[in-house]
Amino acid sequence: MPPCWREPCWRRRTIDPVQSYRKYLDPNVLARIGALELRARLIVEGYFSGLHRSPYRGWSAEFADHRIYTQGDDVRHIDWKLFGRTDKHYIKEYEQETNLHCVLVVDCSESMSYRSASSAMNKHEYSTSLAAALAYLALQQRDSVGLVLFDEKITHFVPPSNNPAQWKTIIGDLQGKTGPAKTAIRSVLADLAERLKSRSMIILISDLFDDPEELLRGLHLLRFRRHELIVCAVWDYAERHFPFQRSTLFDGLEAGGRLLAHPRTVRQRYLEEVRLFLERMRRGCRELHIDFAQFDTSSPLDVALSTYLATRSASIRQRSSRVLAGR
């Protein structure tokens, strides 16, 4: 191949900003980054660098611009005064303002400390990185962000705020460790319902290792209070797929005790229980109109974030289209 300086200008190599971020977004690289603040910034900036044009205008109600109405748009956002002057339908678009209260609820129970050989981070490290990225994203949109850490009870509560110092506060609190306590999500959500005085978007980040019926009752209570909920189930790859081959000594987290078993004798039953649990959670969340997303600790965080946001955006558009079609 001829030397680079002899190639035509149009063939010279350029630096792709997306690829330059990708080298930092590998799970193994992220696990070696000690600063959670830096990790969160890389995740969010890597996500935005992959967007040619962001489809998101924000979550709130401050007018920004007009665009031509297209089929499927919410008719409530049509500017009728402009229609009277132009005889054309235009939709109002909105910029972000601090009317959204986002509360990140992060599980710090003992089971969150699990990490298999196939994962670069344990579930707690992955969850806190995800929470930090979502907090950074929301604060960039000028929304208020709060934080709840819990195990059997709420161990730390930071009220929602859009103060510039809130980012440092959340990052500092997220860098704690898991404790020896079990998970009791229903009582935590009931306590949270009493603490929140205004409607909020609540993002639960947990492995959900609790009784599914009790968990869904806690979610139902928050929905009854008219909060919007997103449930992020963070699991290790081994917990989903049970890849063990040899006789293994399983050390119980939260349940306590140890069990020596051969994977072949328990794999089928274990995977069936996992399938039934996740199916019950998805169905229960769907009935309560709650977003349910699953995250694998072996997957790159920026991919998980962008996939979730794209899925949520598509779901919102579909719901809007169904409402419009029913009128």
Render pLDDT for 242-252 as a digit per residue (tens, 0 to 9). Answer: 887 777 667 66
Q: Check residue 204 and give its pLDDT.
A: 97
- List the end-to-end C-alpha distance of the chain, in Å, as a whole number: 64
Write the DSSP assignment of 32-81 as a string of letters: H---HHHHHHHHHHHHHHT-SS-----SS-EEEEEEE--TTS-GGGB-HH
Q: What is the chain's Cα-based Rg?
A: 23
Which is higher by pLDDT, 178 or 5? 178
Phi, psi of 80 (to 5 degrees): -75, -25
Task: Give 89's contacts (C-beta < 8 A, 6+ positions apart).
Answer: 68, 69, 78, 83
Q: Give me the residues paired with residue 78 across strands.
A: 91
Per the structure block, which two tokens stand in for 101?
């209260």
Q: Check residue 123 and give its pLDDT.
A: 94
Reduced to 3 states (helix: H, G, I; strand: E, B; else coil), residue 166 is helix
Per the structure block, which two tokens stand in for 192?
């949270």
Could you give the CA distance from residue 269 to residue 263 in angstroms, rounded to a whole number?
10
Residue with token string 């290792």: 209
Q: Which of 138, 251, 292 is nearest to 200 (CA)?
A: 138
Reduced to 3 states (helix: H, G, I; strand: E, B; else coil), residue 204 is strand
Determine the average pLDDT of the residues in 289-294: 92
Q: Check residue 319 and give its pLDDT.
A: 62
Q: Give all domains of the chain, ordered by start, each with its CATH number.
A: 62-95 (no CATH), 101-325 (3.40.50.410)
- At 99, the pLDDT band (50, 70, 90 cuts) reads low
Per the structure block, which two tokens stand in for 81?
């005064």
